Amino acid sequence: MIQRAQYRVDRGVPYSQRAYYKDPQGRTYRTDCSGLVSMAWHLPTSATTWTLPNYSTQLASLDDLKPGDALNNINAHVVLFAGWTDSSHTVANIIEHARPT
C-alpha cells in the first residue's frame, strides 16, 4: 500500500477534487486526499472521506496503527500512516495529498 501511494506522490500529481488519475493497473481515482488512500488500498472506486469508513475498521488505539492504515477526519482530510519515527510512538510518518496552501 505504501508503494502504491508513493507511486502517485513521486509523479507530482496535482491536487484536485474534480480530476482523476490512473494507477498502474488503469483504475482511476480522484486526485485528492481520499483518492490517494483509495488508490493505495486499490479500492474498486474512489472513495471520499465520508465513505472511506465503509472500507475500514476503527482501531482501539493509535498504537495499533500499521503502515497503510488511514487517519481520517471525515469532515476534512485523510492521510496514510507510513510508520512511527520513534519507538515511543509519538511522531508518525504520513503520506498525504494535501490541498495547496
Q: Scanning the structure block, which residue is given the C-alpha cell 490517494?
A: 36
Residue 91 pLDDT > 90: yes
Tell me the whole-structure pTM to 2 decimals. Answer: 0.91
pLDDT by residue (tens digit) across 47-79?
999 999 999 999 999 899 999 999 999 889 999
- Residue 69 sits at the vertex; the CA angle it makes with 94 and 90, to the nearest 5 degrees, is 50
SS3 content of the chain, % helix, strand, coil (to 5): 25, 25, 50
Question: Which cell goes with 48?
Answer: 471520499
Give the confidence band of 26 by pLDDT, cuts at 50, 70, 90.
Answer: very high
